[in-house]
Chains A and B, each alone.
Chain A
Amino acid sequence: MIQPDDQQLIQKVLDGNTATYTVIVDRYKDLVYSVVLKIVKNHEEAEETAQDTFLKAYHALSSFKREAKFSTWLFRIAYNTAISKTRKKQLTTTAIDDKMIENYSTDEIKENLGQLDMEDQVKVLQKAIQLLGNEDQLLINLFYRNRQSVDEIASITGLSDANVKVKLHRIRKRLYVEMQSRINSVVPQIRN
């Protein structure tokens, strides 16, 4: 069965079929929750923030401009709501040692990752992500998990396109360095 797209669902809600909003919430609740959790770092607050996001979106639905993706618009509301909740004007980022980040090989990482089972591969990535600052975690998740484009991430966070690109580039390198470091400590044990 073909799922109705966001635009169709939004139109139904605006036409007075309020119950259709359930489908929209169900579709995005985990993604929104995941995004705000990266900022507020607390499950209880994340739930409250995610709820506020969907309620704000509902009340502002008529002002949603159809040329943008609904998810981008929704994530921008989520991002702003989470930021205002935490009252942080600046999210934390991680300092990266430029010398260190040059010394990694994605081929080596891929080869070594291949020796781990899927569960361990994900664990290696999760551990590496945990070492990033919350802004970096948010950006990398928006890009690789939520599949938002650079333009969309810039729109959500208020950063410039160039800034998003630079940050993603550095975060990606940092991730690889951390993953390599973790794999190096795990793979020899497996080989033996």
Chain B
Amino acid sequence: MNIKQHTEQPDDQLLFDLFGKMPLEKAPEGFTEGIMQQVYSGFEPLAESPEYRRQMLWAYFAIGAALVIFIVMFFAQLPFLKISIPTDPEYLRNLLQVGLGFFEGFTRLISYLKGSSTMLIIFFSLTLLLIIERIFRRGVFNSNFFTL
């Protein structure tokens, strides 16, 4: 390659020479073999990377914790230690209707949330959990986290 095509300063040659003498960081042993193995096996790198697994772990943890909170808070609405299955047909029908269709159910769920402070707590708990999960996915232990 013609060095002159890059040259803007007469002193550039000194830096080109010095950089040329500098040892290059070497890729680790077995690097090429590792890649070719994945190429041959049709491995999708992003789906199995440690970062992806870490993210999925936190996602599952957040979903699990959200479910636990949801169940606990839902039954806490009923008399403590006297948990009973709702038997009021009207109440059950309302619950069933919520799950019947997304659009119809969503409207009912929103109105139900509006009338229930407990449900609001659940809603905000879920939001908080999702935020926490995002924080860990971004790497809270990364020193540059707060500069993002």
Contacts and interface: CB of A to CB of B under 8 A. Distances in A.
Contacts of B40: 18
B25 interface: yes
A186 interface: no
B139 A87 contact: yes
Secondary structure of the A contact surface, majority rule: helix
Bin chain A's interface residue count.
Answer: 35 or more
Contact of A147 (B1, B31, B38, B46): B1
A165 B7 CA distance: 11
Nearest to A37: B25
B19 A50 contact: no
A75 interface: no
Contacts of A52: 45-46, 49
B31 A29 contact: yes
Nearest to A54: B35
Given A29-B31, A85-B51, A110-B14, A34 B144 contact: no
Interface residues of B, number: 41
B16 to A, nearest CB: 6
B28 A47 contact: yes
- Decide if the interface of chain B is mainly helix, strand, loop or mixed: helix
Interface string A28-49: 0111111001000001000110
B55 to A, nearest CB: 12
A22 interface: yes
A48 B34 contact: no
Nearest to A33: B27
Contact of A87 (B8, B23, B138): B138
A144 B24 contact: no
B8 A48 contact: no
Nearest to A89: B148
A126 B18 CA distance: 10
A88 to B, nearest CB: 6
B22 A31 contact: no
Interface of B: 1, 3, 5-6, 8-9, 11-12, 14-16, 18-28, 31-32, 34-36, 38-40, 43, 45-46, 49-51, 138-139, 142, 144, 148
Interface of A: 18-19, 21-22, 25-26, 29-34, 37, 43, 47-48, 50-52, 54-56, 58, 85-89, 106, 109-110, 113, 118, 121-122, 125-126, 141, 143-145, 147, 149-150, 165, 168-169, 172, 175-176
